[in-house]
Structure 1
Amino acid sequence: MSFRISNNLVGILNFLTFLLSIPILAGGIWLSHNGKTECEKFLDTPLIILGVCLMVVSLAGLVGACCRVSWLLWFYLLVMFLLIIVVFCFTIFAFVVTNKGAGEVLSGKGYKEYKLGDYSDWLQKRVNNTKNWNKIKSCLIDAKVCSSFSDKYANDTLTEFYSENLSAIQSGCCKPSDSCGFTYVSPTDWTKTTTNSTNPDCSAWENDTNVLCFNCQSCKAGFLDNLKSDWKKVAIVNIVFLIFLVIVYSVGCCAFRNNRKDNAYSSGWKHT
């Protein structure tokens, strides 16, 4: 019996996935041995797990479709079905937890300021966890988000600085809140003055480049605003990926049905 088109398609798609899993796995192993920062080391385990899973599942789909091994193809379809459920649930979840929160527009300023209470309770709990925030803070410091910010705007006058279009993380972590009323010296150097502000971030601010406003509520809010934007982009990509998965799953079901028919045909031929 001629080889079925659906089996060919599943075989080709899984061969490409297998090739993709190799650099992912290699990248995870490389990071585990050569990662220098906490952020780099944080990525090694997920990459290794993802690479191994892709390799195993793609091999199951490849062998199951091309060699007509029905139980391997059944395993492949089961994993694909679970993946579709997970991606669908995560996409819905991402839209739900990112539907709240936005920066506050300030009169005469090119940047916005961010308040932690404006974001979803679930996200707030994640960043208010000391262990989680210490890791995030370490990543922000390692990424030198405020060092590059200071260098870029080092020669700004106060008026020029106020007109800059700062990112959410720069606004929340690298400078004190405007409500504190501190005196500007440079982007990351402010003279503390007596203030009547009830904002707890005013007392958390330090000119030390490893402290700045990394312990501020505004920094957590700025991080969440950045995360919110990234998650929305990921959610949109997930929708496209979900459609692709459903198509592949449908083709895989056809290949599985073909395997069963071919195996039944072969068994019946042998008995005759």
Structure 2
Amino acid sequence: MVRFSNNLIGILNVITFLLSIPILGAGIWLSVRGSTDCEKFLERPVIALGVFLMVVSLAGLIGACCRVSWLLWLYLLVMFILILLLFCFTVFAFVVTNKGAGEIVSGRGYKEYRLGDYSNWLRKRVDDNGNWAKIRSCIRGSKVCDSLSKRNQTFDQFINDNLSPIQSGCCKPPTACNFDYISETVWNKPQGFTNSSISDCNTWDNDPSILCYDCQSCKAGLLANLKSDWKKVAIVNVIFLIFLIIVYSIGCCAFRNNRQDNYRGWKRGYQA
């Protein structure tokens, strides 16, 4: 008789297998229908995750319910590596997102962001020209600045608006530039403007395809957004890590049951 821990591992892996099907389907859909760089970037990781979950869940299901010890051992090995990697990533996420926060601007409802406030590791990633070209394409593709420009706000309404980090960093010039407000994404440089000591003031352009997408403030806004997202992911990872440890413990019980059953079967066969 298959024991409780084997049954429980089997049920959990059936659920995991069923979850892997829509994940794999989403990856295949992205590979066929994806039109933007961001969608294409997600395609391979999503497919890999779907295939990984499907294979691991099948190994755990067959190993536990059919009492195939070597498959269950392989399942536990993969689970152990996954727990270790997830733990390392969670610690890493908390460390690299520990620094950096938006600065309150006097008389403004939004914050502004400086690249130098964030960790060296994150700064190096966004400062890399190849990486930033892809990220910039994703930001433009999200049309976050287009949606801001459609609000048709007055200057007073705009400065009291609660802009997102991306909108604050990429869709407008820094407040210190003192540009003349025309609309949310159109700011004219004052008459007689020459090169400023603030590089972002020189980088700003009213062209909707340029704006401040190459500004340091845009990179900082992205990192502020990334920091918030990674904090949430890290918290979810902690919960998932606890769940994996519980499943791993149950899997160890199922593996022990398999060995005991195999030993009893061998002993009966030997005595016969």
- Where on the TM-score scale, by shorter chain, does this alignment land: which range? over 0.9
Bigger Cα displacement from structure 2, 103-112 vs 194-203: 194-203
Aligned to 2:270: 271
State the 1:139 CA deviation. Answer: 0.5
Aligned to 1:257: 256
Distance 1:150 1:169 in 2: 14
Distance 1:195 1:78 in 2: 63
Aligned to 2:19: 20
State the 1:25 CA deviation. Answer: 0.7
Distance 2:154 2:48 in 1: 49
Cα deviation, 1:173-208, whole Å, max 9, x if unaligned, reads 000011111000001111112268411000100001
Distance 1:159 1:42 in 2: 39
Distance 1:142 1:222 in 2: 16
Distance 1:147 1:210 in 2: 10
**Which letter maps to 2:36?**
T
Aligned to 1:208: 207
Question: How many residue pairs end up in the alignment?
Answer: 269
**Which letter maps to 2:169?**
G
Cα deviation, 1:69-121, whole Å, max 9, x if unaligned, reads 00000000000000000000000000000000001101110001100000000
State the 1:122 CA deviation. Answer: 0.2
> Contact 1:174 / 1:212 at 8 angstroms: preserved in 2?
yes
Secondary structure of the residue aligned to 2:182 is: strand
**Which letter maps to 1:151?**
K
Aligned to 1:124: 123
* Superposition CA RMSD, Å: 0.9
Secondary structure of the residue aligned to 2:225 is: helix
State the 1:147 CA deviation. Answer: 0.1
1:190 equivalenced with 2:187 (yes/no): yes
Gaps of 5+ in 1: none
Secondary structure of the residue aligned to 1:32 is: helix
Secondary structure of the residue aligned to 2:158 is: helix
> Contact 2:196 / 2:202 at 8 angstroms: preserved in 1?
no
Aligned to 1:44: 43
The counterpart of 1:162, out of the listed 159, 162, 169, is: 159
Cα deviation, 1:130-180, whole Å, max 9, x if unaligned, reads 11111111011111010001112x2x2211111111010000000001111
Secondary structure of the residue aligned to 2:6 is: helix
- TM-score scaled to structure 1, two decimals? 0.97
- TM-score scaled to structure 2, two decimals? 0.97
Distance 1:259 1:74 in 2: 10
Secondary structure of the residue aligned to 2:150 is: helix
1:177 equivalenced with 2:177 (yes/no): no
**Which letter maps to 1:67?**
C
Aligned to 1:151: 150
Identity across matched positions, percent: 66
**Which letter maps to 1:173?**
C
> Contact 1:179 / 1:197 at 8 angstroms: preserved in 2?
no
Distance 2:156 2:17 in 1: 55
1:110 equivalenced with 2:106 (yes/no): no
Alignment of 1:236-251 (within 5 A): 236-251=235-250
Distance 1:66 1:160 in 2: 64
**Which letter maps to 1:127?**
V
**Which letter maps to 2:70?**
W
**Which letter maps to 1:92?**
V
**Which letter maps to 1:105?**
I
